[in-house]
Structure 1
Amino acid sequence: MFDIVDFNPSENDVSLAGRALVKSDENFFKVGKNAFVWAPDGTPPPPPPPPRVIAMMELRRSGRTLDEIGKQFGLTRERVRQLLRKHGGPDSASVRQAQIERVQSQEQADVMSVSTAIRDLLGDMTPRSVAEVATRIGIESVEVARCWPEDLGHLRLWGASAAENRWSDQEIMDALRAAAVYEYPLTANAYSALLAVGQITGPSVPRIGQRYGSWTGACEAAGVEPGRTVRSDYQSKWSDQDIANIVRQYLLDPSAPNSAHRFDEWRRENVPDGPSFQTVRNRFGTWTATKRRALKPMGARDE
């Protein structure tokens, strides 16, 4: 009312008027020092909580536990519970919701922090595995994998599958010798055909090439006569750099899935006369090695 009529009485006048109303009006109550309230039903409201309890209520509304509040104010969790109950603290449902939102907010902050660290490391566009990134930024691999930015998926290197990793040198030698029983001299194509029909068991040709440097080197290590290419003067129409450039286009294409098994699908639509995925694998070995080669920064030397 004073605000409406632009009248500002002194604090003492307001206090005197309030005390007078308390005596004359049964619906007007004093609830604290220089604090008054009018209750239409004649029921006096409870006194306002002490400042310390108000602070506790705010913490509780933000999702803090009774233990956390008690430690902050030097009280037991039971005493905190009693004070909040006495002064109308927040109900359990609203507290649970606040706690959920608090956890979600913290998780989002953690993901953002890890994602930022990954982005900073991959700023040079060098593809890396989760383990490599985890070691560089000092964060657990499981967190790096969970927080890897989706738009940087083309820079994530995946390790060889368990099936490819499980072959020992002896098992590879045995596979080559078993294949040589059916085909002599043994060519890579013949080996792959025997592998496809289940006549022999062993790793893929690219995996063998990666382990021993070449098909001929692997056959010589196993004591098997390697098959010779009919056209000894044959030269691929794609250089290593040509293939690497095409793979790079694929990996950097925002509309492409960036996975190995979808390369041929993308190639047929975008580079129809380009090398097949099998050609890429034969040239560079694993998809991981291919990505390292294709996304290697300009001017960088092979390790």
Structure 2
Amino acid sequence: MAKIVDWKHIYYERQLATEAGERIAQAYNFSTPPVDPLKIIHEERRLIHAVGDDFGDAFDGRIKYIGPRFLICYNTRYDTWPHTGSHHSKVQFTIGHELGHYFLDEHRKILVSTHTAHGSRTEFVSDSLIEQQADCFASGLLMPSSLFRPLINKKNFPSIDEIKKVRQSFQVSLIGTLVRWTQLSDFPCATIAVRNGVIQFGWVSEAFRRIGAYRVLRGESVEGRAFRRFSGQDPSFSKYRDGSGSGVGLNWLDYSQKRLDTLEHYFVIPYTKTIWVFLIVDENDLLELDL
């Protein structure tokens, strides 16, 4: 029998984790970006010992309770990529993710009771709820809504350069930026991960949910011409690149009540062989549907 997934429960748990991350950022007095998770580890040094090293493909992050402290290991292999600051933004997100396992009560209880090392792949690639919660914690920690929301709700159609500028301000990963942007946007937008031409998962903004477009077409092949043209330019995914195109919402969203024309930004993430799509719809196209 197929397992019934309670998406409302999952959404609720992820939201609680995000809010927990925001509270920690506030508790440690981060009033301007960027939020540095290593500063939090320093403040918690009596209870956390952290080690950064190149762990190859073993894990992105790992945490274990060894009493009386928690040992956090974070993979610095991504520091070979161009970056500003002490670590690449992927590493920073991983540290935030591991702090989620430390600060979230249920995660902490499991670590203390089992004394088992918990390894993670970070940045929204896991179907496990516990990993999704830790990712959401990192998102809320590194991009608190009080700091992030005002910057991303200035216009309906942000350019790729404007997205990168916000990312740089917070010194966070591009993936984390796109997901958080969608979560906090007042405008109709979505962030979607595509691998081998198939939609893997995604997020939609509140403006889409209000008209009944609750989900992306997970498991469906992407039919949009602009996307296919972009993805076909370098099927090897050998390096980062980005670009833009146009399409229609029915290629991405479980919603067919009205044709929705989309502006689409594409971002190739080489290490996961994934194209992340940020699609935007004119808010005026939704006004009559939102009445």
TM-score normalised according to structure 1 size: 0.25
Relative contact order, CA 8 A, sep 6+: which one is greater?
2
The structure richer in strand per residue is 2
Who wins on radius of gyration, i.e. which is larger?
1
